[in-house]
Structure 1
């Protein structure tokens, strides 16, 4: 069979190189239904070229605080388009994540203030 007639695919190693993501993470995304792979004749996983965009978007969403279950629930407008900011279907979960992060920041700021007060109590008063 002429290889030029086969759809363009990437090995898992090449996908990892192009995205900067570990092979282990790519396998994990594939096993969790975030990517789709096929098996080559040799049994190795192969991915469509679009997987580069998908992996980058998955990484972006993880860096924004979403877990794999949440990402899997997102519609294609969020999972398949690199840099997608928001889809109407994901607005509630994005707003919830933002509120969670803002609560965490407020908590950390309170902790910092308490710790600063504790440290300043230990310092001798300025002369």
Structure 2
């Protein structure tokens, strides 16, 4: 694990990804956590995450446009330009990491560290595909 300018948590299944990204920030990996927020406006879990206040890091919640991995890569590119970020850690589920890396590499010129959510799945790659 190495420091990055921002931790980007992609939207999707409630599999612990938000907690995983925030825990990395608490451990000092980054002072910036960006949570993709493609969920309905009144989502109580996202409201809880977006309201986190910690002196060690900031949490920013962004609805991706479009509401896809491409939209998440685009908002990362824009935030990086705005804040001078050169490196990001992208967190998603294990089977989405290769695809997300490809999309992010097309939209973001900086250093990209991919991190899968540490959890077990009841199915393998072949079943998922």
Same fold judged by TM-score > 0.5? no
Higher CA-based Rg? 1
Which has more strand, going by share of residues?
A: 2
TM-score (norm 1): 0.21
Higher relative contact order (CA 8 A, sep 6+): 2
Which has more helix, going by share of residues?
A: 1
